[in-house]
Amino acid sequence: MTMWADQSVTEISAERVSGPVDDDGASPVWDARTKALRYVDVSRGDILTFHAQTGLAERQHVRGGALALRPRRGGWALVTQHNVVALDAGLRPEGLSVPLLEGCGPVNDAQWGPDGALHVATSTSSTATGAVHRLRSDGGWDTLAEGLSDPRGLSFDPARARMYVTDAPAAVLVADLDDAGRCGELRPWVTVSAHGTPRGTAIDSDGGVWVAVLGASVVLRFTVDGALDRVVHVAASQVTGCAFGGPDLGDLYITTSPVDTGRAGQPVGSLFRARPGVFGAEVTGPLPVL
């Protein structure tokens, strides 16, 4: 833990809180209703539920593959390979689905914006560049940014009117939000090229941005001004996502992906948790319906 010895950073170690439970954990989100962490195993197309009180994890397979999961009013919004699907609180389909934008690349991440619209990040494909799209109330899509490589890590900070997104190989980008919560043009914010590839992000109550770094065994925290001030060390190289949870939103949960998949099809990625000394930003106002 001497990598940042010459910088004024606080170094923290995360503890492993699960056994091998996934092959590509991503899109973690805390479910206050059940006191559990929900996230997806992208490689297997499953939704995972980790119960913090018991340490047990449950797996539910989803037809069409689970790529991102976000809470909505009365349940969940699940992004699959082809649609955004409404699930109830028990993760059962409610019959409402919205097709993804035709011709877009594979979905990497999704997040609600302050305007109540679902935003989806898609990667480069044979038919499209990496982009960020916004779901309109009529079921259509607006493309807010394109020409990206592999955008992920969508996060919003309504208190400071910002949207963040990561992009390979090393960029964290930011866009300002207008009074209606819609984002402007993305611009470079910080670079993590010395550490690895940025993936999922989380925002704390002070506006700090936590960035999971693939290939570096760390989650990095940057202040609102873009200064690195905290490092969470993880005993896994492929760190994929992070989210605040726990009764006080003071736990930082961290998802990982193994370098190699498990033998005989067994998952080998684990879930980690740290107490970083700050708290997650609370959601204000009602959740969107879809």
Model confidence at 122, in pLDDT bands (50, 70, 90)? very high
45-73 mean pLDDT? 92
Instruction: Walk me through the domains of the chain, giving residue ranges and CATH numbers.
Output: 10-274 (2.120.10.30)
Q: What is the pLDDT of residues 104-120, one digit of tens each?
A: 999 999 999 999 999 99
Model confidence at 182, in pLDDT bands (50, 70, 90)? confident
Q: Which are the contacts of 287, defined by CB distance < 8 A and separation ≥ 6?
A: 71, 72, 73, 112
Please identify which residue in the block is written with the tokens 């190289």.
237
Mean pLDDT (the chain) is 90
CA pseudo-torsion sign 117, 121, 122, 128: positive
Please identify which residue in the block is written with the tokens 């919003």.
156
User: Quick one: pLDDT at residue 3?
Assistant: 53
265-285 mean pLDDT? 83
User: Quick one: pLDDT at residue 210?
Assistant: 98
User: Quick one: pLDDT at residue 237?
Assistant: 87
Q: What is the pLDDT of residues 127-176, one digit of tens each?
A: 889 999 999 999 999 999 999 999 999 999 999 999 999 999 999 999 99
Backbone phi, then psi, for 12, in 5-degree steps?
-130, 145
CA neighbor of 211 nearest in space, from 250, 254, 246, 251: 254
User: Quick one: pLDDT at residue 4?
Assistant: 57
